[in-house]
Amino acid sequence: MSTEVKMVYADIEEQLGEMSSAVTALNPTAESPITGNELDVVTKLTELSTQLEQLLIRYQEVLVKNIGTTERSVEFMRESDEDISQSIDGTMHGPQRLRS
């Protein structure tokens, strides 16, 4: 069983871009309340619509934060891969002598 983790950065970045576009396209604005109607059902629907709008706004905020965190994590992994690669390349050429 392999413990190697392979990341295809272009694929990850593409998916994050699609997620960002989808989050931006979300329109959590509730419909305007029905006016001139005193039925309890209408009042309850208006309340539910407002709560749903608030929930969707919070969900959108969380998604934006998660996408940002994921982007920073991917960038950290890319930099770590590059550092490790450079370190391995340096050790494969034999020990380096310090110049005086």
pLDDT digits (tens, 9 = 90+) for 8-17: 999 999 999 9
Q: What percent of the chain has pLDDT over 90?
A: 47
Does the residue 51 lie in any domain? yes
Does the residue 89 lie in any domain? no
Does the residue 23 lie in any domain? no
Q: What DSSP string describes 56-98?
A: HHHHHHHHHHHHHHHHHHHHHHHHHHHHHHHHHHHHHT-PPPP
Does the residue 21 lie in any domain? no
CA distance 46 to 35: 10
pLDDT at 1 over 70: no
Does the residue 9 lie in any domain? no
Domain residues for the domain of 46 are 29-82
Does the residue 99 lie in any domain? no
Does the residue 41 lie in any domain? yes
pLDDT at 27 over 60: yes
Number of domains in the chain: 1
pLDDT at 93 over 60: no
pTM for this one?
Answer: 0.70
CA distance 60 to 27: 9
Does the residue 38 lie in any domain? yes
Both tokens assigned to 41: 């059902």
Query: Cα dihedral angle (62, 64, 69, 74), rounded to 10 degrees?
Result: 140
